[in-house]
Amino acid sequence: MAARHLITGQAGEELAAAFLVEKGMRIVERNFRCASGEIDLICEDAGTIVFVEVKTRSGAVRGEPGEAIGPAKKKRLIKAGALYLSRHRAWSRPCRFDLVGILFLHGETVVEHWEDIIDVRDGLDRGHAPWQPW
Eight-class DSSP state of 131: T
Q: What is the pLDDT of residue 32?
A: 97
Q: DSSP for 26-63, please give it.
A: EEEEEEEEETTEEEEEEEEETTEEEEEEEEEESSSTT-
Predicted local distance difference test score (pLDDT) of residue 36: 87
Q: Which parts of the chain sit beneath pLDDT 70?
A: 1-8, 59-68, 120-134
pLDDT in tens, 4-23: 656 667 888 999 999 999 99
Instruction: Supply the CATH classification number for the domain 4-61+73-123.
Output: 3.40.1350.10
What pLDDT score does 57 carry? Answer: 84
Domain ranges of the chain: 4-61+73-123
Predicted TM-score (pTM) of the model is 0.84
